[in-house]
A and B are shown apart, each in its own frame.
Chain A
Amino acid sequence: MGTAPWWVELFREDYYQFEGRHTPEERTRAEVETVERALGLRPGDRVLDLCCGWGRHAIELAERGYRVTGLDLSEGELARARRVAAAAGVAVDWVRADMRDVPPGPFDGAVNLWTSFGYFEDDGENQRVLDGVGRSLRPGGRFLLDHWNVLWLANRPRDQRVKEYGDGSLMLDGRDLDVRTGRIHAQFLFVAGDGTRRRHRISVQGYTPWELARMLGRAGLRVLDVWGDWAGRPLRHESLRMIVLAERGA
């Protein structure tokens, strides 16, 4: 591993090869249906997928008739996204950029999914991401952010998970919340069927729902709802996810 930030190393190739490609399509469809409902999208609406990866949500949204912009920093992920979109015959406006450089829009809705926030060590830099979202949304436009629930992690020190895939590959995921700083430290160990191992260390700032509500407020976004899963159940201590729905003031 070089000295590039962890997200550059992880999303160059390994994440898709060892984890991303195993994502069931039904899950993407179900998540996109939730996005449509939560953001109150109407046909033809302009939607920003901030940190879109290889575009599994962006492409599904485009297939449903929205005008989608997908932003990501990883050239490799975007190249894959372009290929998948072309194969599906849909047009998405792909933008290679840092998440702090949100395109001006205006967008009718925006999403930041699957723990794609809090990467920067400095809260101010993470705030810049939300500020960009706030500026790029039209008044009344909505934003859905999906992240780890730190309230759950706080009660599960050194949590470990094993995911097995049918091809004999494994993902071993160990994570720990630094309860003083709120930083979530994770280690992903990918094991291929032949035993080859790839290791990535991840560090993401975790935010409590109330901290995030304040940051969103500074960006001109008001929290409408907070869920603990994609089925829309309320956030609880034991929820794995924290899904925040916010709206830009008029």
Chain B
Amino acid sequence: MGDPLRRWYATSYFGADYFLMHPEPPPEETLGEVDRIVAVLGLEPPARLLDFGCGWGRHAIELARRGYWVTGQDLSETFLAMARERASREGLPITWVHADMREVPFTDAFDAAISINSVLGVLEGDEEDARAVAAVARSLRPGGRLLVDQTNREHVIRHYRPDHFRETEDGHLVIFQGRLDLRESLNHVTVTIIGPEGGRRTYRHVFRLYTLTELARMLERAGLRLEEVWGGLDRRPYDLESPRMVLLARREG
């Protein structure tokens, strides 16, 4: 717990350089993802949705366009500023919340919450992730549902590649070097960005790779009953070869 590295998520990682590491997908891809999220949740607008770990609002904004009543929560001010700016351009009435994941300032408020793109596993430890899940569970109305989209640990392990790199069109070199800690099921990643002029910036981060079993138990302990497991938002079967692990759970009561 005392390892300052485990607080990497609260540093500049989720800032401007994030887009060099993970370029924003084309709009069609976001539209497709939102189509699938809506299909999985089966809720008609204007249902109340929480986008938990909303980043710069890629999904939240599209959901608001479709008439949902959307709240987006994230810890990154940089991302939230982008989200606000994009949403206000279209006059979308989204509530943006700047808060740690363990503190969701709502109770019995949402018909559904979504947590897309591996939000769980970045906090300092399993108990901290469990607190985040408990917080999001409390924010749901009884019977409300949580959709969680995580990296499939089994796929990561089977296809683990310690090194990969990419050159961006504007001449940045982005180098990922990974190391698996199998005892703790942690993926340590060092990202080095070398600018066109040779300047270097380094980011270190740690992801907890949860098994399906561990994640399902974490949801259950938070009073969420697991309803479905898929290998992607497109509801393909979950197996060793699915890159994603998608869980749908319902708040009891």
Contacts and interface: CB of A to CB of B under 8 A. Distances in A.
A194 B163 CA distance: 22
A18 to B, nearest CB: 15
B173 interface: yes
A162 B165 contact: yes
B212 interface: no
Nearest to A161: B163
Contacts of B243: none
B177 interface: yes
B163 A195 contact: no
A152 to B, nearest CB: 13
Contacts of B175: 162, 170, 172
Contacts of A196: 198
Interface in B153-207: 161, 163-165, 167, 173, 175, 177, 194-195, 197-200
Contact of B195 (A159, A170, A172, A195): A195
Contact of A197 (B161, B163, B173, B199): B173
Nearest to B199: A195
A214 B147 CA distance: 58
Contacts of A212: none
Given A162-B177, A170-B175, A172-B175, A194 B165 contact: no
B108 to A, nearest CB: 48
Contacts of B165: 160, 162, 172, 174, 189
A191 B200 CA distance: 12
A159 B165 CA distance: 10
Nearest to B173: A191
B197 A195 contact: yes
Where chain A touches its partner, the secondary structure class is: strand
A162 B173 contact: no
Given A160-B163, A160-B164, A161-B163, A194 B198 contact: yes
A203 to B, nearest CB: 20
Chain B residues touching A, majority SS: strand
A162 B202 CA distance: 15
Given A172-B175, A197-B173, A191 B164 contact: no
A155 to B, nearest CB: 11
A191 B163 contact: no
A161 B195 CA distance: 20
A192 to B, nearest CB: 8
A162 B163 contact: yes
B31 to A, nearest CB: 28
A197 B175 CA distance: 14
B161 A160 contact: yes
Interface string A172-194: 10100000000000000101001
A197 B195 CA distance: 11
B161 A195 contact: no
Nearest to A158: B164
Contacts of B195: 195
Contacts of B198: 194-196
Nearest to B163: A162
A138 to B, nearest CB: 44
A189 B194 CA distance: 13
Contacts of A197: 173
Contacts of A160: 161, 163-165
Contacts of A191: 173, 194
Nearest to B200: A195
A197 B167 CA distance: 12
A162 B167 CA distance: 14
Interface in B70-111: none
Interface string A140-163: 000000000000000000011110
Nearest to A172: B165
A174 B161 CA distance: 12
Nearest to B164: A160
A194 B198 CA distance: 6
A170 B197 CA distance: 15
Nearest to B198: A195
Interface string B199-220: 1100000000000000000000
Interface of A: 159-162, 170, 172, 174, 189, 191, 194-197
Interface of B: 161, 163-165, 167, 173, 175, 177, 194-195, 197-200
10 contacts: A159-B161, A160-B165, A172-B173, A174-B165, A189-B167, A189-B173, A194-B198, A195-B195, A195-B197, A195-B199
